Structures are given as structure tokens and as C-alpha cells.
Amino acid sequence: MDISVVIPLYNEAESLPELESWIARVMEANGFSYEIIFVDDGSTDRSWDVIRSLAARNPAVRALSFRRNYGKSPALNEGFRRAKGDVVITMDADLQDSPDEIPGLYRMITAEGYDLVSGWKQKRYDPLSKTIPTKLFNATARRVSGIRNLHDFNCGLKAYRNKVVKSIEVYGDMHRYIPYLAKNAGYTRIGEKVVRHQARKYGKTKFGLDRFVNGYLDLMTLWFTSRFGRKPMHFFGLLGSLMFLVGLIAVMAVGFGKLWTMHHGGSYTLVTSSPYFYLALTTMILGTQLFLTGFIGELIVRNSSRRNDYEIETEITRPADEE
């Protein structure tokens, strides 16, 4: 099969027939073998009824429905697990992503050798309250992830080699950082394609401004786990040791300061009456706790069943009769 189109959705009953018909026209015009996987994320409107009618009419339509609303990331993850096409295309169900972009995305994967291609809606039909935070968000994501050639990490229109989506796990709200997840899994051939953005035709957006706050928190989580997920002591142990050392030096400085004053006959007070003593002691305690956090993290990693779970690209082995 050439292409799997994975479409997560929530309360998009009005747009689904038009979207399915549009995708089918594009596929047939280009001679692609395909499947459309609708993932209904607990819709409360008639979305599932519409999907069932589409599946009865078009055998390429597959679908699954969550019992309740879990979010876009779980929907994509379940769609990825079921995708069979050589190239997997994701798009939103609100008709803001154009299926006419599918052939170009497919060629970039199959002919130009990309592992992942992300759409870039260079001209957007969104209010400034959405576009300005989006620009700031993407600038931060580029710097943290090191993927400098992407302008829109959160664009729903993306294309992947099948092995990419089988190698990553999209959870929480990590759908915003799928390129970063792919890079961490070893798929570094990441490209971008300028795509057409269309104004929403039906319904209203399902995302609020809180996604930007949550997005930054998720980005920091992803950065930390990618850098120190397998070696937590390298972060917590180093930081804890440095804090303990600073606190110890500070305590010694307070103590030697008092001894110096006593030696020269000056007036002095108890060490415990100095606020610097308590600050230094607190720093030592925090340093010890951080060090122990790293130690516990190492124990968890050591006992994890996935501690030696690595992605192997190719392997050359000797025939059994030569060993």
C-alpha cells in the first residue's frame, strides 16, 4: 500500500464527507493505493455515524473511536499503530489542511529520501492572538530541538516513512514535537514543504491559549528526557555535587570568619545567628537531595526492561554454517 492517511478528529461531523471525498479524488487521480484511518477522539456530535456511512461507501476507510476524549496525541498514536502504507500522512479533519498537498509530500519521502516532511503554513488565516504566540513557540522549539529548518512544528499536515511512526510513541500532548521525537529516534532527514492553509469552514477550533503554556512545559520535558533519560545521574548528580560543594565552602567561610574575628579580638556572635549559615546549610541539603535523586534515577533506569532498547538500522551477520 502506498499511503495511509491518519486523521484524528473531535466533533467534526460537518467536514468529514467533504474531506473523505477530496482525499479519494486526489488518490485516484494519482493512482495511489491508500487507506484513510479516522480516529474519533470521543466526539459528542454525529461524527461516528458519519464515519460509519463513509466506511460503508468507501472500502479504503478504516476507523476507531475512543470511549472518551483523550487528546490528539493518543489519537495519532493509535492511528500510527494501525497504518500499513509505505508513507503515512497526517492531517486535521477541519478542512484547513489541503489533500492536494499529498502527492508532493509523498514524492519528498519516496523520491527525495526524507524520513519526515512537515508542512509549513506560510500564509495563515488565523487571528494575531494565535499567530504571534505560534511564532514565539516555534522559535523556541527550533532552538531547543536543534531542528533549525522547520518553521511550524505543530502543523497537522505531515508525511512520514512508515518505519518512523512505528519507532516513536506519541503521548500526552507530544504531537507538537513529533519531529523532535523522530530526531531522538535517529531519523534526522527532516524536511519542510510550504503548504496551503485554508480558513475553517465548519465548527470552531478545539484548542485554547493554554496549549502554549503546556507546549513549553512539554518541550522542556522532552529536552530533558532526550538528554538525560538514560543517564539521570549526569544531571542530578553533577548539579547536586556542585550545590553541596558551594554550601560546604559557604559554611566553612562562615566558620573561618568567626575564628578570624575571635583570633583578632573582635566582637563576634554565634555562627547560628548568621543567615548565611542557614543558606549554606540549605544549599548542602538540596545538593544531597539532588544527588540522591540522580542515584534513584539510575537504579530505575538500570532495572528498566527497555534500558538496552536501541534502534538498529542495518546488521551484517555470518551464515550459521560459517560460525
- Which fold is adopted by the domain 3-228? Spore Coat Polysaccharide Biosynthesis Protein SpsA; Chain A (3.90.550)
Distance CA 306, CA 298 (A): 13
Torsion sign over Cα 107, 62, 174, 210 = positive
Torsion of CA 222, 228, 231, 233, to 10 degrees: -130
Using 50, 70 and 90 to split pLDDT, how confident is the model at 43?
very high
pLDDT at residue 288 greater than cutoff 60 = yes
Query: Minimum mean pLDDT among 19-33, 91-105, 184-198, 271-285: which range?
Result: 271-285
Residue 270 has pLDDT above 80, yes or no: no
Domain coordinates of the chain in residue numbers? 3-228, 233-302
Q: Does the structure show a pLDDT above 80 at 36?
A: yes
> What does the chain come to in residues?
323
- The better pLDDT of the pair 280, 306 is held by 280
Between CA 169 and CA 146 the distance in angstroms is 20
Residue whose C-alpha is closest to residue 101's, from 18, 38, 30: 30
Q: What is the DSSP letter of 97?
A: B
Greatest alpha-carbon span in the chain:
98
In tens, the pLDDT along 139-152 reads 888 988 999 999 98
pLDDT per residue over 82-135, tens digit each?
999 999 999 999 998 999 999 999 999 999 999 999 999 877 666 666 667 778
Instruction: List the end-to-end C-alpha distance of the chain, in Å, as a whole number.
Output: 38
Q: Which pLDDT does position 206 carry in this prediction? A: 57
Residue partners of 143: CB distance under 8 A and separation at least 6: none
User: Has this prediction a pTM greater than 0.75?
Assistant: yes
Q: How far apart are CA 120 and CA 156, in angstroms?
A: 10
Q: Quick one: angle between helices 16-30 and 102-110, nearest 10?
A: 50
Q: Indicate the SS3 state at residue 214.
A: helix
In the chain, the amino acid numbered 91 is: M
